[in-house]
Amino acid sequence: MRILVTGGAGFIGSNVADRLLELGHEVDVMDDLSTGSIDNVNPEAGFLRFDIRTPEAAEAVCANAYDIICHHAAQMDVRRSVREPVFDSSVNIGGSLNIMEAARKSGVKRVVYASTGGAVYGEPLSLPVREDHPINPICHYGVSKHTVEHYLFLYRNLYGLGYVVLRYPNVYGPRQNPRGEAGVTAIFTLKYLSGEQPRINGDGEQLRDYVHVSDIAGANVLAMNLSRPDLDGGIFNIGWGTGHSVKALDSIIRSLVGTTLKPEFGPALPEEILKVCLDSRKAREELGWTPRITFEEGLKDLVDFHRNRL
């Protein structure tokens, strides 16, 4: 198949693009390199340097006759979304609409959309969270990502554009950017490897569901299966269904790095939920997806990746 991966120079998108190339697909990557890196782009992939909000991005989609768009390009920093809500909306909603308009005009068969299970639900009423849980995001990022889910529903009903939504947990692994505000596993890893203290916001008891990027890539491949029209319009949580606290994550990383440093603590952030983990039974039963890489194995992989790059 001919596949476009938007955000394919970023952490998750580049891992998805690599998996697709391994499977023999023809892959183009679209990225403006504002947060992604050209070093992440597989040389076997075509590269289109465009901001997804631009007419040039839409023209490129229309010109290349893609079967599938795997849509990962986004403003994905929760804290930035709170500081700059208009920017967050312009990228996540406006940019996505620009790509969707081009997709429906050019005959794309399915959009696989990277949404967020860690932000759309808000503070969960019960754990693990199922897909039918009320949608009550407490940050702008969660609102913008969920809004696109509604537009996908609309475009399927009006124009027949197929889609699958994958609601991600905290994704971690090689290529995760440790120099931003997102990606706690990578931030803590690089801090400790560099002999610095990381900062925990709040008491460290915040609970998150962590899935390795390799397992996320596998979910994307399953969602792209065009021989399964029954998947169209599906929304799937991707997670283990159990969580790890920030304190537990910190302890494992310190052990893997071999440091005696300990984190400092700061005030909790109001836009961050306290606890979330995602029930992925629907993904297991309907997509055939199950996570394979344990948290400890995945963190060792991440630490080794960054240690080798220092």
Helices vs. strands in the chain: H and E counts, helices first: 11, 13
**Residues 66, 121, 141, 210: which is the catalytic one?**
141
Residues with Cβ < 8 Å from 219, sequence gap 6 or more? 166, 236, 238, 283, 287, 289
Using CA atoms, how far apart are residues 68 and 59, in angstroms rounded to an integer?
16
Provide the sign of the torsion angle of the four alpha carbons 50, 56, 58, 60, taken in this order: negative
Using CA atoms, how far apart are residues 117 and 167, in angstroms rounded to an integer?
5
Burial of 34 (0-12, 13-18, 19+ CB in 10 A): exposed
What tokens appear for 258 in the block?
């071999």
141 is catalytic: yes
Q: What is the CA radius of gyration of the chain?
A: 19
Using CA atoms, how far apart are residues 136 and 120, in angstroms rounded to an integer?
6
How many degrees, rounded to 5, is the angle at CA 128 between CA 125 and CA 129? 60
- Torsion angle, CA of 218/280/223/60, rounded to 10 degrees? -90
Residues assigned a catalytic role: 141
